[in-house]
């Protein structure tokens, strides 16, 4: 049936005003004439009459100026002993390339570009035939000369390897199987090498370390400046996935390197990209990319045709999924990265009308054959009869957008379709958790602007009881998925699932112990300043101070919510300190910020519990009962902390006899030592995380705290 449709004459599908360029061999229509020409070349293998052919390699171009630029770098034409490239079939073109070397980095993976080049297919001809939403770029951004001519160029491939080995597992923003140094856009390659340089494992002298830091700063500065000028001159460039990917990486580096000037630039970049996304309508999938789901359907490509159709569907998937992940990452950065400074998000999840990311195994497939096999395994037999209908989507309506997924997750029965989506993609679960956290913060802003009401005994006091139940339902539903996946440390997605596990604890903390900066109305101008302010505010109960009704006495303590989270907080300590130190040092910076927030919550709870125990001793000259909240919190949290404290790590198997004791003298000495032990534990946390300068910066803040802070 599909074959008959493709042979219908052009008169049977009259062009519309929106797509005025029809194909005369199939029912497709296009918005631009160059898209029609590209379609004819790729799908119907038709050479146009006005093509320009290279005499050396026989590459064919539609523009004479492109041919002239190609001749300047064509080795075949320059060679006196030129041999014409052999003619190969379409099946040979799409044959997967088997690399016999170990797969250790993205630079060792042959992409379709390299595969075709190795088989004597002209490089420029590949880009002409297979240009897509991801690759239809100005050629100077794709096929450029080496971008590094001074210091750092000898480390380029090493830096790319470090990026994919240490940073990519936490944020699979780039499509690793098709990323190569030779074909990556130069601005994207700059961002990758700068972040990869941060993750370098090479021990160098202080002088060389300063030289590398200076090179990173200069490279980042020039790269982000050129990228921003590109968007300022032509806003539509933001539609290209590599532009968004590079933009996001430049922002991440600017936020987490600890320099105030780079942080301000990253904040300005956020405003600019949000404006650009809105201007071009990129947040609406069906508007900006109407064929973004075409790779799901086998209507136009029967299985009896050449394998090239599988490759075409694979590249279409890469294009759509690259844009999808980039947009979801942008929403996450907007809603979470600037939270430590108490900056409000510029975007809302309601704006993003894109489906949730597809299974990670599809994203990690190294060639079209593996991809189509995993595609069939995931979607089953129904993949052959899929229809492009919103009400009959292959993954269910709940996965059609982030908002719908969040709403569905807050019900008692979220459905097997949504559950399978989150199980198959830790990055999708990550985005949903970040959206839930944004929702709780929005409720917090509203709640603390209303008059205080202490009639509700619920420890989760920010939301109403029905709202709290809904958020708890979402945490429970997604927690079941995360708990099982995070326990498998040898999984390639372990770091993502571990981040999700910590995000769940952070979300629960925000429910019961709201952000002090948010309640206090304090907005800082850098990430480090915000974390430092939170560290100082941890010593007091700023929430009670902000309640403006003088006739309502504030409740003492403020540990009621923490009492309900003792098990979760103890497990979080195990997750934060129980990993391999080598792997912890390269964790994603937002995971470090989240973990630090959890540690501040535990630290503050221990301080408040210690104060209550001492007040009880001074008043009644005896210890509180072991079942009292202050004793439960102090003993449970300190018992978990002592397992990972540097001072007691050697005796981890021996439990401190002063824990859960009723001896006044023994508990008094533990009260004195407990605060110091936990302060040292937080400092050791910072000492292990030096890649993004978050650890060193916060270590300096902790050392400046007065003695009574511990």
> Do 514 and 592 belong together in one domain?
no
Backbone angles phi, psi at 22, to 5 degrees: -90, 155
23-45 pLDDT, tens digit each = 877 877 877 777 777 777 666 65
Report d(CA 538, CA 542) in Å as an integer. Answer: 8
Residue 569 CB neighbours (<10 A): 22
More confident: 583 or 227: 227
CB 272 within 8 A of CB 351: no
> Do 269 and 335 belong together in one domain?
yes
> Do 613 and 488 belong together in one domain?
no
- pLDDT for the residue numbered 292: 81
- pLDDT for the residue numbered 589: 94
> Do 613 and 518 belong together in one domain?
no
Pairing of strands 52-53, 21-22: unpaired
Residue 404 within a domain: yes
Report d(CA 243, CA 221) in Å as an integer. Answer: 16
Residue 526 within a domain: yes
Task: Provide the token pair at 626.
Answer: 């072991």
> Do 329 and 434 belong together in one domain?
no
Residue 87 within a domain: no
Element (H, E) at 497: helix 494-512
Mean predicted confidence (pLDDT) in 399-410: 93
pLDDT confidence bin for 164, thresholds 50/70/90: very high
- Total structural domains within the chain: 3
Residue 171 within a domain: yes
Residue ending a domain, among 499, 525, 555, is 555
Query: Mean pLDDT for the chain?
Result: 77
What is the three-class DSSP state of 180? coil
pLDDT confidence bin for 115, thresholds 50/70/90: very low
CB 641 within 8 A of CB 613: no
pLDDT confidence bin for 595, thresholds 50/70/90: very high
Residue with tokens 């919510």: 561
Pairing of strands 21-22, 29-30: antiparallel
Residue with tokens 């160098």: 204
> Do 168 and 216 belong together in one domain?
yes
Report d(CA 105, CA 622) in Å as an integer. Answer: 62
Q: Write out the residue range of the structural domain in which residue 504 sits.
A: 396-555
CB 109 within 8 A of CB 177: yes
The residues that bridge with 224 in the sheet, in sequence order, are: none
- pLDDT for the residue numbered 63: 60
664-698 pLDDT, tens digit each = 889 999 998 888 899 999 999 999 888 898 989 99
Residue ending a domain, among 523, 555, 587, is 555
More confident: 51 or 665: 665
Residue 173 within a domain: yes
| Among the listed residues 256, 199, 252, the one whose alpha carbon sits nearest the alpha carbon of residue 224 | 252
Residue 3 within a domain: no
Distance in Å from the first CA to the final CA of the chain: 75
Residue 601 CB neighbours (<10 A): 24
For 271, 337, 343, 351, 433, the CA distances from 346, given in Å and listed in that order, are 7, 12, 9, 11, 18
Q: Lowest-confidence range among 217-226, 375-384, 407-416, 421-430? A: 375-384
Residue 373 within a domain: no
Element (H, E) at 555: none
Q: Is 360 exposed, middle or buried, given 0-12, 13-18 or 19+ CB atoms closer than 10 A?
A: middle
CB 515 within 8 A of CB 441: yes
Residue 287 has pLDDT above 90, yes or no: no
> Do 575 and 538 belong together in one domain?
no
Q: Is 297 exposed, middle or buried, given 0-12, 13-18 or 19+ CB atoms closer than 10 A?
A: middle
Backbone angles phi, psi at 366, to 5 degrees: -90, -15
> Do 179 and 263 belong together in one domain?
yes
- pLDDT for the residue numbered 89: 36
Which bin fits 63, alpha (ψ -120 to 50), beta or left (φ > 0)?
A: beta
Element (H, E) at 30: strand 29-30
Element (H, E) at 624: none
For 103, 158, 495, the CA distances from 489, given in Å and listed in that order, are 20, 26, 8
> Do 548 and 573 belong together in one domain?
no
Report d(CA 156, CA 93) in Å as an integer. Answer: 30
> Do 538 and 570 belong together in one domain?
no
> Do 413 and 328 belong together in one domain?
no
Q: Lowest-confidence range among 294-298, 591-595, 646-650? A: 646-650
Share of the chain above pLDDT 70, in %: 72
Residue 469 within a domain: yes
498-538 pLDDT, tens digit each = 999 999 999 999 888 888 888 878 888 888 989 988 988 88
Residue 624 CB neighbours (<10 A): 19
pTM (2 decimals)? 0.77
Residue 423 has pLDDT above 50, yes or no: yes
Residue ending a domain, among 555, 581, 612, is 555
> Do 600 and 624 belong together in one domain?
yes
């Amino acid at each position: 049936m599909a074959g008959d449709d493709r042979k219908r004459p052009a008169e049977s599908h009259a062009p519309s005003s929106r797509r005025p360029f029809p194909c005369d061999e199939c029912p497709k229509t296009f918005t631009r004439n160059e898209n029609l020409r590209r379609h004819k070349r790729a799908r119907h293998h038709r050479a146009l009459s006005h093509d320009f052919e290279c005499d050396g390699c026989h590459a064919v171009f539609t523009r004479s100026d492109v041919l002239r630029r190609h001749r300047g770098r064509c080795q075949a034409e320059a060679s006196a002993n030129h041999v014409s490239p052999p003619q190969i079939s379409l099946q040979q073109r799409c044959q997967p390339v088997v690399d016999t070397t170990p797969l250790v980095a993205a630079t060792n993976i042959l992409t379709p570009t390299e595969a075709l080049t190795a088989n004597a297919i002209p490089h420029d001809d590949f880009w002409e035939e297979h240009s897509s939403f991801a690759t239809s770029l100005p050629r100077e951004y794709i096929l450029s000369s080496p971008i590094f001519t001074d210091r750092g160029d000898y480390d380029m491939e090493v830096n790319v390897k470090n990026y994919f080995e240490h940073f990519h597992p936490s944020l699979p923003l780039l499509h690793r199987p098709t990323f190569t140094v030779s074909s990556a856009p130069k601005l994207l390659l700059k961002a990758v090498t700068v972040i990869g340089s941060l993750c370098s494992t090479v021990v160098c002298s202080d002088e060389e370390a300063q030289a590398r830091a200076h090179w990173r700063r200069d490279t980042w500065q020039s790269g982000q400046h050129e990228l921003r000028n590109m968007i300022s001159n032509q806003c539509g460039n933001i539609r290209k996935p590599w532009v968004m990917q590079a933009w996001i990486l430049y922002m991440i580096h600017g936020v987490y390197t600890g320099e105030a000037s780079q942080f301000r630039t990253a904040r300005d970049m956020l405003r600019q990209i949000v404006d650009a996304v809105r201007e071009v309508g990129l947040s609406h999938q069906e508007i900006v990319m109407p064929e973004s789901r075409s790779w799901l359907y086998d209507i136009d490509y029967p299985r009896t045709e050449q394998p090239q159709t599988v490759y075409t569907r694979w590249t279409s998937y890469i294009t759509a999924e690259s844009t999808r992940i980039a947009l979801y990452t942008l929403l996450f950065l907007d809603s979470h990265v600037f939270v430590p400074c108490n900056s409000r998000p510029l975007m809302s999840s309601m704006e993003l009308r894109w489906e949730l990311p597809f299974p990670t195994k599809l994203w990690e497939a190294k060639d079209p054959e593996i991809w189509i096999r995993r595609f069939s395994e995931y979607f089953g037999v129904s993949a052959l009869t899929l229809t492009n209908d919103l009400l009959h989507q292959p993954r269910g309506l709940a996965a059609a957008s982030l908002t719908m997924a969040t709403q569905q997750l807050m019900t008692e029965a979220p459905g097997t379709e949504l559950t399978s989506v989150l199980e198959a993609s830790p990055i999708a679960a990550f985005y949903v958790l970040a959206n839930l956290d944004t929702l709780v913060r929005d409720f917090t802003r509203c709640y603390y602007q209303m008059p205080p009401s202490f009639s509700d005994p619920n420890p989760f006091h920010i939301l109403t009881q029905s709202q709290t139940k809904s958020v708890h339902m979402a945490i429970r539903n997604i927690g079941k998925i995360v708990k099982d996946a995070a326990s498998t440390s040898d999984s390639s997605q372990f770091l993502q699932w571990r981040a999700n596990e910590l995000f769940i604890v952070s979300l629960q903390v925000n429910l019961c112990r709201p952000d002090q900066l948010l309640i206090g109305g304090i907005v800082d101008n850098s990430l480090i300043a915000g974390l430092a302010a939170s560290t100082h505010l941890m010593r007091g109960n700023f929430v009670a101070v902000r309640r403006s009704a003088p006739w309502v006495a504030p409740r003492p303590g403020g540990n009621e919510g923490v009492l309900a989270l003792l098990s979760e907080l103890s497990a979080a300590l195990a997750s934060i300190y129980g990993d391999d130190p080598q792997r912890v040092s390269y964790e994603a910076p937002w995971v470090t910020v989240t973990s630090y927030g959890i540690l501040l919550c535990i630290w503050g709870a221990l301080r408040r519990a210690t104060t209550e125990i001492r007040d009880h001793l001074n008043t009644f000259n005896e210890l509180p009962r072991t079942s009292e909240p202050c004793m439960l919190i102090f003993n449970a949290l300190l018992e978990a902390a002592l397992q990972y404290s540097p001072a007691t790590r050697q005796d981890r198997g021996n439990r401190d006899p002063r824990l859960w004791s009723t001896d006044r003298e023994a508990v008094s000495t533990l009260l004195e030592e407990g605060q110091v032990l936990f302060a040292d534990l937080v400092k050791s946390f910072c000492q292990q995380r030096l890649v993004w300068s978050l650890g060193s910066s916060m270590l300096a803040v902790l050392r400046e705290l007065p003695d009574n802070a511990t």
